[in-house]
Amino acid sequence: MKVTFPHLGNAYIPLEALLQGLGHEPVTPPLGSKNTLEWGSRHSPEDTCLPFKIVLGNMLEGLNLGADCIYMLGGWGPCRLGYYGEIQRIILEDLGKDAEFITLEVPKGNYSLAWERLRKIFGPAKAGKFFGGCLLFWAKLKVLEEMETLALKTRPRERQKGSTSKLLQQQLKRLQDLQSMQGIEKMRLASKEAFRDLTDSSLPTEILRIGLLGEVYTVVEPFANLQIEERLGYLGVEVVRTISLKAWIEDHIFKNALGLYNLKKLKSSAKGYLRGFIGGHGLESVARSVDLAREGFGGIIHILPLSCMPEIVAQGILPEVSTKEKIPILSLVVDEHSGETGFQTRLEAFVDLLQRRQQTLCPTKKKVYT
Amino acid sequence: MRGCLTIQKVGIPSALYYFYYHPLWRCFFAELGLEPIFSPPTNQEILARGLSSCVDGACLPVKAYVGHCQTLAEQGLELLFIPEIISLFKGEYICPNFMGLRDLVKQYLPPSIRLLSPVLDARKGRGAVSRAYWHMGREFALLPKVKRAWRRAVSEQQTFVLAQQAQLAESSSSKRLNILLLGPRYLVDDQFLNGNLSEKLGLLDARVFTAAQLADVVSWNANSMLSKRLFWTGARRSIGALEHLTKRLDGVITMAPFGCGAESLLGTVIDQRIKANHLGKLELNIDEHTSELGMLTRLEAFCDLLERKKVL
């Protein structure tokens, strides 16, 4: 089957490997663009959130490239993501698109349907190839994360503006084509070197650090957050992303499905602010902001799509965290009308404020401007 | 607290789940020997208070809820009942906005106020909700008394629910139009927030059905017929009511606060049903800027259309 799937950051690279291992032909939709969003929002219900619209756009573009099957994540609430697949299936059906729609979720109740789905997913798989695909998937995911983290560290310290992003894109392209574990390992080591070469060693090692957290899709998908990581990097800020794809897949998909996902640590961090799980990444947002504040971060940027239910609660609680833990927090709401210039201005103002604040708090540190 | 001579007062905001459970709460607290004080029905002053303090991403009913809590706090009450509702039925959730409601509201209130907030989570198994109430009640009375109070409160609630369901059977053929009003009850029943919608519809000679008039069994059945079960209680009830009443209806009005997550998805499912059954549909999104007059115009136009359709 020709399978397409929505984008989530750079997850398409490991996903392609996994799908090939399953014996499918992956059809990766083009990366998010204005066209994607326009298409997606034209056919979406008006007040669904930005991720829904981009995801629907991805699906439509994937189908246009000749895919005949769509994979989408599902779930059973309380976040809306759980029902997105079903609504998107209805919308595509109404548009007359003749495609198989497979929602990946823990079956509840309807087991015959779940069996049918499993057969379709694993039907063409051969044991050896599937195993290889899984290994590749995991290895690529790990290397991908590592490179992204490296890029976040390197960008504010690069000698030539834009060189980090360029290198990252090159490496990602190479990673996509690699088919052997040895090759991936070799590439991992090589890219570590390459990133180090870009660094300007004359800059002080300690520069302003900002934690990025919020709703997983808007944090991970650069198209949804208007490349916030790059923008901050160019402003001379080291961005630390508290949400990683790998951890998300481990925690929210595997462990959650098996009932092993443990909130104890998060709950103890969020103590006094939020009592428990509120769906999506709401608890994480609050807990991680407290953690980051205690780790001595310069500031926090909380990013969420308009009308995201769990994050609104987090957004309401974060000002309290900000006052009590003494850390500036900026909540950014994104939707399809977010303007780039306004976004940039707000980021610049926030970073200015943080740099000045850090200077007053600890004047010994050298001021960093790029 | 036990053994106090003066009767302790507990404040209950008349918003959100008040509209579902007020008989239960009233009776339970009264039986425990407390005096339940309800905030007045939503009005301009209460709403304005909520709007000025609550986080702007929240929906209108949540903002009103904050206003209610602040009003109660200003009346000098020291104990507020703000339940933390996670799930009311097994395998279902309510809106995630309400899960952290206690923690959201807490920061808008003076720190001296104590919040009574049992965690109501029906996913934890049969009896989990009653146990949460008992646990809360133990603070004010001994367990046997708490259990007795709970039993009485539940039977009060049952009478209230049955009385609502009895409205469905009433025959009122005198009305020209039959309209189903869907939406969360804290909006549909709050006459101030929805701009007196049901009265306006009554003046336009329409009979209004709501999802509250149907038993849960009906909507569970309807829900299991969907290709994917809905996991929000409110959405499940709406779709159940629509399925059950389709034959008797002329039109459907869906009402949602602006930015309501669950309703935005439910809309697509409802549209599917409405198209298949050739019903009329009016979508009302309500926020703090909604004008009552504009809404009246839309309602009049909608009813006119329905009538014309009926003649054709």
- B16 in reach of chain A (CB within 8 A): no
Q: What is the mean pLDDT of residues A121-150?
A: 90
Which residues are within 8 A (CB) of A185 and not within 5 positions of it... i.e. 6 or more apart?
Answer: A139
pLDDT digits (tens, 9 = 90+) for A260-275: 677 888 889 998 898 8
| Token pair recorded at residue A279 | 């769906």
- How far does the CA of residue A347 sit from the closest CA of chain B (Å)? 20
Q: Check CB contact under 8 Å for A83 and B231.
A: yes
d(CA A76, CA A86) in angstroms, rounded, equals: 12
- Bridge-based pairing state of the strands A209-214 and A329-334: unpaired
d(CA A183, CA A176) in angstroms, rounded, equals: 11
Q: Please say if the pLDDT value at position A280 is more than 90.
A: no
Asked if A305 contacts A335 with a C-beta cutoff of 8 angstroms, the reply is yes
pLDDT at site A120: 87
Asked if A179 contacts A136 with a C-beta cutoff of 8 angstroms, the reply is yes
| Token pair recorded at residue A158 | 């690069």
pLDDT at site B18: 94
Higher-pLDDT residue of B142, B174: B142
- B91 in reach of chain A (CB within 8 A): yes
pLDDT at site A17: 93
Q: Please say if the pLDDT value at position B171 is more than 70.
A: no
pLDDT at site A7: 94
- A308 in reach of chain B (CB within 8 A): yes
Instruction: Considering only the beta carbons, identify the residue of A46, A103, A279 that sits closest to B99.
Output: A279
- How far does the CA of residue A308 sit from the closest CA of chain B (Å)? 7
C-alpha triplet B156, B161, B167: angle, nearest 5°? 130
Asked if A209 contacts A298 with a C-beta cutoff of 8 angstroms, the reply is yes
Higher-pLDDT residue of A109, A347: A347
As to burial, measured by CB atoms within 10 angstroms (0-12 exposed, 13-18 middle, 19+ buried), residue B3 is exposed
| Token pair recorded at residue A53 | 């619209």
pLDDT at site A261: 73
pLDDT digits (tens, 9 = 90+) for B184-216: 999 999 999 988 898 899 899 899 999 999 999
Q: Report, in this order, helix, strand and coil percent for chain A, each rounded to 5.
A: 55, 10, 35
d(CA B273, CA B262) in angstroms, rounded, equals: 17
- B104 in reach of chain A (CB within 8 A): yes
- How far does the CA of residue B229 sit from the closest CA of chain A (Å)? 9
Q: Report, in this order, helix, strand and coil percent for chain B, each rounded to 5.
A: 55, 15, 30
Q: Please say if the pLDDT value at position B35 is more than 50.
A: yes
d(CA A236, CA A153) in angstroms, rounded, equals: 10
- A86 in reach of chain B (CB within 8 A): yes
Strand partners, A299: A210
| Distance (Å) of CA B291 to CA B186, B208, B253, B287, B288 | 19, 21, 17, 9, 9
Complex-level ipTM:
0.88
Instruction: Answer left, alpha or beta for residue B37, where phi above 0 means left and psi between -120 and 50 means alpha.
Output: beta
Instruction: Considering only the beta carbons, identify the residue of B92, B231, B268 that sits closest to A90.
Output: B268
Output the DSSP codes for B202-250: HHTTEEEEEGGGS-HHHHHHHHHHSSS---BHHHHHHHHHHHHHGGG-S
Confidence of residue B288 (pLDDT cuts 50, 70, 90): confident
Q: Please say if the pLDDT value at position B1 is more than 60.
A: no
C-alpha triplet B235, A58, A303: angle, nearest 5°? 70
Q: Please say if the pLDDT value at position A36 is more than 50.
A: yes
- The CA radius of gyration of chain A, in Å to the nearest whole number, is 21
Tell me the residue ranges of DSSP E strands in B136-224. Answer: 177-182, 206-210
pLDDT digits (tens, 9 = 90+) for B54-97: 988 888 999 999 999 999 999 999 999 999 998 998 888 888 88
What is the percent of chain B with per-residue pLDDT over 90, rounded to a whole number? 58
- B247 in reach of chain A (CB within 8 A): no
Strand order in the sheet with B206-210: B206-210, B177-182, B251-257, B280-286
Confidence of residue B6 (pLDDT cuts 50, 70, 90): confident
Q: Check CB contact under 8 Å for B268 and A275.
A: no
Instruction: Considering only the beta carbons, identify the residue of A77, A275, A316 that sits closest to B58.
Output: A316
Q: Check CB contact under 8 Å for B231 and A49.
A: no
Chain B residues with CB inside 8 Å of A279's CB?
Answer: 93, 96, 99
Q: Which of A175, A223, A220 is nearest to A37 (CA)?
A: A223
Chain B residues with CB inside 8 Å of A310's CB?
Answer: 96, 99-100
- A101 in reach of chain B (CB within 8 A): no
Chain B residues with CB inside 8 Å of A48's CB?
Answer: 264-265
What is the percent of chain A with per-residue pLDDT over 70, rounded to a whole number? 97
Confidence of residue A370 (pLDDT cuts 50, 70, 90): very low
Number of neighbouring beta carbons within 10 Å of residue B2 = 9
pLDDT digits (tens, 9 = 90+) for A161-217: 999 999 999 999 999 999 999 999 999 999 999 999 998 888 777 889 999 999 989
Asked if B204 contacts B296 with a C-beta cutoff of 8 angstroms, the reply is no
| Distance (Å) of CA A220 to CA A223, A224, A279 | 9, 8, 18
Predicted TM-score (pTM) above 0.95 = no
Q: Please say if the pLDDT value at position B3 is more than 70.
A: no
Chain A residues with CB inside 8 Å of B97's CB?
Answer: 309, 312-313
Q: Please say if the pLDDT value at position B242 is more than 60.
A: yes
Confidence of residue A369 (pLDDT cuts 50, 70, 90): very low
Instruction: Considering only the beta carbons, identify the residue of B99, B104, B265 that sits closest to A83.
Output: B265
pLDDT at site B184: 92
- A197 in reach of chain B (CB within 8 A): no
